[in-house]
Amino acid sequence: MSGAMSLSTVPTAADAGLPGDLVETVGMAVHASGDGTAFLNAAGFASALCDADGVIRLADERFTQWAMAGEGAQLDRLPPMRGGRVSLLCAPDGRTVAAAVASPASAGAWPLAEALKLRTGPGLYPVIICTPLAAIDPARSAFAQALGLTGLEARIVGGLMRSGDLRVAAKQGGVTYETARAATKAAMRKAGVHRQGALIGLCVTLQSGEPAEREALLPVLGELFGISARQAEIALLVAQGSSRDEAAEAIGASEHVIKAELKSVFTAMQVATVAALAIRISEVSILSRMVSATSMETVPAGAVEPLRLIPRIGRAGRIAVVDHGPRDAMPVLILHTATTSRHNPASFIRTLQAGGLRPIALDRPGFGLSGMVSGDYLAESAQDLADILDTLGLERACILARGGTMVLARFAERWSERIERAVVVNPEPPPDADRKRGGLLGAIKGLVYGQPWLTGRLASYLSRNASAAIVERLVTRSLEASEADLAVLRDPEICAAYVRASQHSALQGGAGFRAVATTEPFASVPAIGDGRMITIVCGAQDPLYSAADSLPRLQAAWPGCSVVIVPDGGRLVHFQKPELIARLLGDGDAQFRLRNGCGAA
């Protein structure tokens, strides 16, 4: 296998070019190996066992629904003595599907069926494929739920994923080609993409898990299918939604060359359409990520969040939104910090709901599953909030900014009439006013303030090494000066949710982190005429920022805003005092603050 798939090629933090004092302070000079944690949907995979010759001997129920899983199915590359690899599983008639195979010791965290785990041992090796599309009910699929597809749209997209041909999908769905084409276009609008290949690739990812990064995937494609580096690059560009013209421009070749190379790619990969190409590359990508990961985290049974991906209005890309409901309650958009994402503890969500609220958490641009934006990052982030409200048919909403204070400020500047109430939790001060510079967080802030371009290296390192254990260690280390926060993190549910949010923040290689680090600390706060709908909540034990440093410019820009100082509150005061947050968003009763031992400033 290529070096990109090696289990010993990931650099340490020092190798990544991070400043030595920061490496020492953060404690990242560990000799990590592999590509960090892969995030998978266990239901998105089927599993089997093969013998030392690569012949399938045992398989789970989902695996047997692969039409070629019977006697004679064999891997084109034998299982490795150690580690894992992506191979092609071949049927006697020559058809193939991508499969991951490894030694039992290396596949301990793979989503293998329990019955098969008991049979692994000398001479039998775990084999994983993406769940055969024949085994998926499109109407109940993860991609249909996430994209909000209608029954017809889900049926046509499912048929397109099975066959790779829209005409075949139309026939299987019992509709005309024009109807199927219209349904596919509607699905693409909901997904925020413009081409079938990009839609299919996204659906496979939503169904199974996190894909590999481009640099790791390209050599795998070359080795698996015997194509050149340029052909692999073209295949990936087209599969991800580029037109032939766009692919030609990207690699500096003519459209004639692209067409010729694609013809060779289609032959090598045994596909006839761009949709089929997207399926094949997406499956190879997800399996490659799984093989190269040092650890895996799968979605627990019954813990699937009500995720929805909505397209930006008049702009490229999509926004990942989790609408917890209920639909008839007051909506509250939840913004996250630069190092977390849309995930929140279930207990926190339940408390907001009990307070008459409809929590709607989102990934900010470049975080989690929300696409990155171009241009003014803060303005585009504020536009995301407006797009969410418009898509959900909401005139007004509350906003909870547990990060993203500047996004709220930009939104309030333009759409203050759409804010019912807003709560800002532990806002950040401008760099020149920030007097808390000690410890781990002080070292990171010094990097962000003084050398923001280096945050890309930090984000990239964390995105490749963000195992739950490492993230939990960093979180605990960063908050060790606050007993209030350490007490919160002793709750296993809250700690797990916070760690998950931190891990998912890096899914796009830290693109969002870099954008926030180079914009928010240096942005000014636009003034609004009336700030009475905004309440600022500060934990007196926040180890990151001091209210005395943060409040002056916000109070000047938001005349009439309220301030609540929680004496025993820390950085995670919203998780400590969820009832307070719910009440402030629900009716803003000042007496509630006093009854709960909070001081108003």
Amino acid, res. 276: A
The secondary structure of 199-228 as a DSSP string is HHHHHHHHHHBPPPPHHHHHHHHHHHHT--
The pLDDT, as a whole number, for residue 227 is 95
Integer Cα distance of 299 and 294 in angstroms: 17
Q: Is 75 helix (H, G, I), strand (E, B) or coil?
A: strand
Q: Residues 184, 199: contact at Cβ < 8 Å?
A: yes
Cis ω before 326 (30° cut-off from 0) = yes
Structure tokens at 257: 């060359």
The secondary structure of 300-365 as a DSSP string is PTT----EEEEE-SSSSSEEEEEE---TTSEEEEEE--TT--S---HHHHHHHHHTTEEEEEEPPT
Residue partners of 508: CB distance under 8 A and separation at least 6: 366, 367, 368, 372, 463
Q: Is 87 helix (H, G, I), strand (E, B) or coil?
A: strand
Per-residue b or e along 321-338, where b marks 16 or more CB atoms closer than 10 Å to that residue's CB = bbbbeeeebbbbbbbbbb
CA distances from 524 to 106, 463, 479, 513 (A): 51, 29, 27, 19
CA distances from 268 to 59, 133, 359, 544 (A): 27, 22, 48, 54
Q: Residues 544, 448: contact at Cβ < 8 Å?
A: no
The pLDDT, as a whole number, for residue 433 is 87
pTM of the model: 0.74
The pLDDT, as a whole number, for residue 593 is 40
Q: Which helix (H) or strand (E) holds 536?
A: strand 534-539
User: For the chain (length 601 residues), average pLDDT per consecutive 10?
Assistant: 30 46 43 60 89 89 72 80 87 85 86 87 88 84 89 94 91 95 93 88 88 87 94 93 91 92 94 92 92 71 70 90 94 94 94 96 93 94 98 96 96 97 95 76 67 62 63 79 91 88 79 88 94 96 91 96 96 96 76 41 48
